[in-house]
Structure 1
Amino acid sequence: MFELIRRERRPVTREEVAEGLGVSRKPAAFHLDKLVAAGLLQAHYEAPTGIRKVGRRPKVYEPVGETIAVHIPERRYGMLADVLTEAVLTETDGESARDAALRVAYRRGETLGGAERERLRPGRLGAERGLSVAADTPEESGFEPERTGPTLLRLRNCPFHPMAARAPERVCAVNQAFLAGYLHGLGSDRTTAVLAPRPGSCCVASRYPRTTRGRHRRRGARGRPGAGTAGER
C-alpha cells in the first residue's frame, strides 16, 4: 500500500488503493489507518483530482514529507556524523581530531544526562540506583541497555555499527566519552563508562566498582572524556 501511494505522487482514496491491490475497501481502510498511526502516511479529506462529486469529501492518503529509515537493530549514524562535524568545526589549536571528537561527544552526553536529571529529579544517586536510572536514555539513543549484574550495565547494541567494526579505536572511544558525559550529567557519580568489548554487543559498559577503594580510584579519573578505559574483569 505504501509503495502504491508513493508511485501515484498524489493523494489517493481508500477505494483506489483497494482497487489497485485487489482487496476490499474495509481491510484497505484498516491498514491505511495503521500506516497513518505509524507515521508513514498522512491523511485528510479532499476531493480526488479530476473528480467532481456531490457530498462528503473522501478521505485521502499520501506519504509524509520526512525521510524514513528503518534499521533493526537501531543505527544512529546521524548522531555520529553530528559529533564528528562539530568536532571539525570547533577543533582548537593544539587539539587533535580525536580529542575534539571526544570533547564533543562528552558534552553531548553531559547535556542529555543533565536534561534527564532535570526531568526526573532523582536526588542523590547511589551506585546501584545510578545504573538503573542510567538505563533509560541510552536505550532512547539506540544502545539497548541490559543489567547483567548488580554492578554492571551492558549495552547490547552499538548504534554506530558497522562503523565501529571498521574503526573501533575511534568509534568506541566516542561511545565511551558520550556515555561518560551522560553519567556525569545525570549525577550518577559512582558509576563510570568503561571499555568492555564483547562480540555481539557495544564495546562500552557502565559499571561501579565493588570495593570502596576501587570506587575512589575510579572517581578520581572521572570527568575526563575517555577516562576509565579498563576492560571488564
Structure 2
Amino acid sequence: MGGVGSDANPPGTADTALESVHVLGDETRRRMYAVVRRAGRPLTRDEAAAGVGVSRKLAAFHLDKLVDAGLLRAHYEHTDGPHRVGRRPKLYEPSGVTVQFSIPERRHELLADLLMEAVLTETRSENARQAAVRVAAERGRALGAAEREATRPGRLGAERGLTICERMLERHGFEPIRETTTRVRLHNCPFQPLTAKAPDLVCAMNHAFLAGYLDGLQATALRATLAPRPGECCVRISPADA
C-alpha cells in the first residue's frame, strides 16, 4: 500500500535498509551513531570522537559512512559576520530515517497509516471497514495517477501496464511473480502476521488499493482480482478480459 511517514524508509528502499544494517554492523560505528542520536544537538567530529573514545580521524571515517548510508546528515556550522578565523567545523546530526529491515518484507506502518486515516475520515454513512477500504482505494488511485503523470506511458496494454505495476508491487514488498506475460500473483503479503487477525479486512484493503492503483494508472487492460492462496497475498493482477 502506498505512502509512509516521513520518519520511515520510503517504499522501495529495501536495499537502502540493508545497507544501513550493514553499516551499523560495525560496533564503533554503531556506538557513534548512538552518541549523535542522543546528543540532542549537532555534534562536531571532535565531540563525536570524544563520546566514543576514538581518534578524530577514525571518527571522521565512521561519521562519513553513516552520512553515506543516510543515517546522519552533515552541514557546516553557520557563523555570523565576516570576522571568524579558521575553517568552520562540520556538524553531524540524525537524518530522521528509521531503519526497518525484514525478510520477507513487512510494512506494518503502512497498514497502520491507512487505518489511522480511515478512523480520522470516517463519515456517518460508513462503518469502520468501509472507511478503511475507501481510504485504501483513494491511496492506490493517487499513487497510480502520480506514476502516470511522472512516466507519461501513453495508452497501456496489458503487458506494458503489468511491467509498470510490477515495479510498484516490488517497492511495496508484495514480491510479484509472473505466471504468464499478462498475469501476476503476489508471493508475499507485507502485512503478515497482522493479516491473520483480520484477513477479510486486509484482503479487502489490498484489493481496493490495487484496483485503485490500476485505475489511477489508467491501465484499463488489467484488473485486480481476489485469489487467495495460503501464505501469499490474496490479490492477483490479470487481464481485464480474462
* TM-score normalised by structure 1 residue count: 0.73
Q: How far apart are the structure 1 equivalents of 2:64 and 2:175?
A: 30
- Using the TM superposition, give the Cα deviation of residue 39 of structure 1 relative to its aligned residue in structure 2, in angstroms: 2.6
Q: In structure 1, which of residues 151, 154, 167 is the aligned counterpart of residue 198 of structure 2? A: 167
Gapped runs of 5+ residues in structure 1? 48-52, 210-214, 219-233
For the structure 1 residues 122 and 29, does the alpha-carbon distance in structure 2 shift closer, same or farther, using more than 3 Å as the test? same
Contact 2:75 2:92 in 1 (8 A): yes
Q: Say whether 1:123 aligns with 2:170.
A: no
The letter of the residue matching 1:150 is T
Secondary structure of 1:135's counterpart equals helix
Alignment of 1:187-226 (within 5 A): 187-208=218-239, 215=241
Secondary structure of 1:122's counterpart equals coil
Alignment of 1:78-93 (within 5 A): 78-93=109-124
Alignment of 1:1-233 (within 5 A): 1-46=32-77, 55-64=86-95, 66=96, 68-73=98-103, 74-208=105-239, 215=241
Secondary structure of 2:192's counterpart equals coil
- Using the TM superposition, give the Cα deviation of residue 24 of structure 1 relative to its aligned residue in structure 2, in angstroms: 4.5
Aligned residue pair count: 205
Q: How far apart are the structure 2 equivalents of 1:196 and 1:170?
A: 15
* TM-score normalised by structure 2 residue count: 0.71
- Greater relative contact order (Cα 8 A, min sep 6): structure 1 or 2? 2
- Using the TM superposition, give the Cα deviation of residue 27 of structure 1 relative to its aligned residue in structure 2, in angstroms: 4.1
Q: How far apart are the structure 1 equivalents of 2:206 and 2:197?
A: 14
> Alignment RMSD, CA only?
2.9
Q: Deviation string for 1:187-207 (max 9, x for gaps)?
A: 111212123334554332212
Secondary structure of 1:56's counterpart equals coil
Q: Deviation string for 1:30-81 (max 9, x for gaps)?
A: 221121233321223349xxxxx963233232223x3624132444334323
For the structure 1 residues 9 and 119, does the alpha-carbon distance in structure 2 shift closer, same or farther, using more than 3 Å as the test? closer
- The corresponding residue for 1:222 is none
For the structure 1 residues 106 and 30, does the alpha-carbon distance in structure 2 shift closer, same or farther, using more than 3 Å as the test? same
**Identity, % of aligned pairs?**
60
